[in-house]
A and B are shown apart, each in its own frame.
Chain A
């Protein structure tokens, strides 16, 4: 059987990106032919502006060179514009007569610049700004002539004006509208932009209409005539008044077009063999002229071409950044506001800073930023994710670096950092290393930066900063992480989809789940297997099959692996209480097994560090204490103060409640570790304000706080409920944790879970709804009441192989056995 033939018409960013994605999914599926009308291989059109300014060169912006095509066995026809598409014969023909037959066709014909029907438009020196050749012509003209007029004060026009100015021309921008970039900016931001460009020497004529372009005797443009009679000298006239989807070929083949080639959510045209992506398409009535949507389309088209067919393109919220060095400008979404929308505005014209956030129904729907766009990526994320920003509102305008009181996220502005400054504290990665990798390796996504530099791959607190670096360095190329993130590279499915499928299909093992959801890898990876194992166990307690091999070593060995391969052992001390007998046994164990380090933990217990793996069962046996689960994604500790039993300030018996909570919740596995604390009075000596569940005694009962975190980024727990009795504390805390167990994403702490689903949602389920709360608490008890103490089990011989090394029997000896 011969390979299916895929023909790609258009070798721009959309076509190139789709091929890259396709080759990732299915490197050998197609015999591929590419037609490009331009003489260059796939290059980064976005970076033409830096080329025009002289900040980069053309070779630097090539995305895939000729070798790349060769290496992937792709037939590439350059300077070969396809002029005929025969859908019956499934064949395309190019202007130079090249013929290619297809089984699948991808149209990525991009867009065409709009040419105003002005007298003189055919004169020499009148150009549009679209491709490498236009850029080249502008650079040439700048070297020979003094005056340029740019018609159009939009994104492209301003970039062209800035580039020509940088190359020494006198530049006038003629714009029909009352303010610049009216599709991306409001008048206030546009005014600041105009001032700053004027300071660079660019002249602007707004609300000005061009009437004609005048030529000299050699047929070259020499001036632009405006409607009010003004004449502007210009040997170079750049028309940048907009783009129009290039649908010529599609229309000639009678494919349905409506201001763009009409495609469905899998990027197929009305002829299902024919796909279309990029600026040439019209998706749900929208044609996009920016790069980020195009990358999303490329992913979906590639996925469908690779016969996975699980990607859907649901449209994009475009965002814009002006690629003019020294000007920080960002715009996204619906920045005009209007009826039903609220605006938060910060305006400091003297400092050249303007920010506007548009909020509708508690969600951010648009933003414009000028002068300080460092938080653009963060706002864009809130916007795309549809995050409810009601709670962030007082700080919203000041950016994410003002949220919380610790951690790295956005604390430094990425742009203002020096190359030597550290971005990722976990892996010691500096800004310079990340920027270099983005430039040299052509990285576009957060995932790629993580893989190549390790930055943001551990605790993730610098993710915002890395995203900023991507946005700054890769400019418009930067693809923000997709909104619905797959669980890992083995699947397209998100955590939610996986959890739902496991519940709906009654899946009882990680293996079954992978089969049902068509995992791409035979047995997953170290990221998805532990997640799946947790999901089946937490969804179907007492039914699902635990797979020890899908657990991280700590949960398999029931101890914490250390950097030298030894383990640490933390026995449980209920509510932080212990006794002489326990301490004596611990001391004896330390002596007997020569345990090098004994340390008091932050959770009020004792850590024995440096235990050899083979000693673990014997250590546990001699300790004769329950597992502290200090190694597990499970309940760790319930920290307590001494409370009313001893403390002269204590109003309730916090130690007793802590011990009761710990007895009720220990052996509870969860999406991530869970820590509790109980304080006996509002002085809060047990630090309940930074725990997953923190309980603080008041005279009349107990206040329950949830979703605090003392880790990477300190997060103060939020008030959840006030109750009167200890029994109620158990029920409320247990129900909240069960909700987290059932709906949390694996490795998502309660703080992130609550931020995702909303505190109000949790309160509605647990506090307001008595029946649901009781049901949740019952399900929790059902799930953990029969969970064994893992140490006891292993002392009795379970999983013995885990702790024994193999005996090596040399050949001769083996033969005698």
Chain B
């Protein structure tokens, strides 16, 4: 089931930075890359639970502030040789607003985005879509 919520404007997130959205007690880190794509991951490093939102964002990755694990923004997976994964969330950018589907996706089981779009008919019609995640 998808459940879309508006969380902020893209401009509220610093480029190569992150913000935190709390949903039902779970912290979700929302990242913005240098080219303004937006990704969302559970704000917990698979290593020792460090807040990924506080890390340094580079390319399509974030380096955890606690012990330097590098986590892919797109898949939530730790860069080899480290192994581990954090939950990821679907994000859409519509008219410069960031929308988050607060149901987490396990990294291994990600439905294609187009299928997702057709399911969520109640959402405001996207006019321009810059999507990431």
Contact = CB atoms under 8 A, between A and B. Distances in A.
Decide whether A and B are members of one complex: yes
Interface of A: 451-452, 457, 521-526, 529-530, 548-550, 552-554, 556-557, 561, 563-565, 801, 805-811, 814-815
B111 interface: no
A805 B58 CA distance: 22
B12 A801 contact: yes
A811 B8 contact: no
Interface string B1-27: 001111110001011110111110001
Interface residues of B, number: 40
B132 interface: no
Given A549-B14, A549-B17, A563 B66 contact: yes
Q: Which of A521, A565, A801, A810 has the most CB of B within 10 A?
A: A565
10 smallest CB-CB distances across A and B, nearest first, come from: A526-B63, A553-B54, A526-B56, A814-B6, A806-B21, A549-B16, A565-B51, A553-B65, A805-B20, A810-B5
Given A529-B56, A806-B8, A552 B17 contact: no
B58 A523 contact: yes
Contact of B68 (A526, A550, A563, A805): A526
B54 A811 contact: no
Given A523-B34, A811-B6, 18 more contacts: A522-B58, A525-B58, A526-B56, A526-B70, A529-B56, A548-B17, A549-B16, A563-B48, A801-B12, A805-B21, A806-B20, A807-B21, A808-B6, A808-B21, A808-B22, A809-B5, A809-B6, A810-B5
Interface in B79-127: 81, 100, 102, 122-124
Interface of B: 3-8, 12, 14-17, 19-23, 27, 30, 34, 48-51, 54-59, 63, 65-66, 68, 70, 81, 100, 102, 122-124
Contacts of A811: 3-6, 122-123
A808 B51 CA distance: 19
Contact of A805 (B19, B59, B100): B19
A554 B63 CA distance: 14
A526 B50 CA distance: 15
A189 B5 CA distance: 76
B58 A553 contact: no
A526 B30 contact: no
Contacts of B3: 810-811
A549 B51 CA distance: 15
A565 B51 CA distance: 6
Nearest to A815: B124
A561 B30 contact: no
A86 B59 CA distance: 45
A368 to B, nearest CB: 38
A548 B21 CA distance: 21
Given A808-B100, A814-B6, A548 B56 contact: no
Contacts of A815: 124
A426 to B, nearest CB: 10
B66 A561 contact: yes
Contacts of A452: 81
Nearest to A448: B81
Contact of B12 (A548, A549, A806): A806
A283 to B, nearest CB: 34
A557 B17 CA distance: 13
Contact of A548 (B4, B14, B54, B59): B14
A523 B22 contact: no
15 contacts: A457-B68, A521-B58, A522-B34, A523-B16, A530-B56, A549-B16, A549-B56, A556-B54, A557-B54, A563-B50, A806-B8, A806-B19, A808-B7, A808-B23, A810-B3
Given A565-B54, A808-B5, A525 B16 contact: no
B65 A451 contact: no
Nearest to B51: A565
Nearest to B7: A806
Contact of B59 (A523, A554, A556, A807): A523
B12 A814 contact: no
Nearest to A547: B16
Q: Which of A452, A522, A808 has the most CB of B within 10 A?
A: A808
Nearest to A566: B51
B9 to A, nearest CB: 10
B49 to A, nearest CB: 8
A443 to B, nearest CB: 10
A160 B20 CA distance: 65
A345 to B, nearest CB: 44
B41 to A, nearest CB: 14
Contacts of A809: 5-7
A561 B64 CA distance: 11
Nearest to A427: B67
B121 to A, nearest CB: 12
Q: Which of A523, A524, A556 has the most CB of B within 10 A?
A: A523
A523 B73 CA distance: 14
Contact of A814 (B5, B30, B54, B68): B5
A211 B66 CA distance: 70
Nearest to B21: A806
Contacts of B7: 806-809
A389 B48 CA distance: 42
Contacts of B65: 552-554, 561
A811 B81 CA distance: 40
A529 B57 CA distance: 10
Contacts of A801: 12, 14, 19
A808 B68 CA distance: 29
Contacts of B50: 563, 565
B15 to A, nearest CB: 7
Contacts of A561: 51, 54, 65-66
Nearest to A511: B34
A200 to B, nearest CB: 40
Contacts of B15: 549
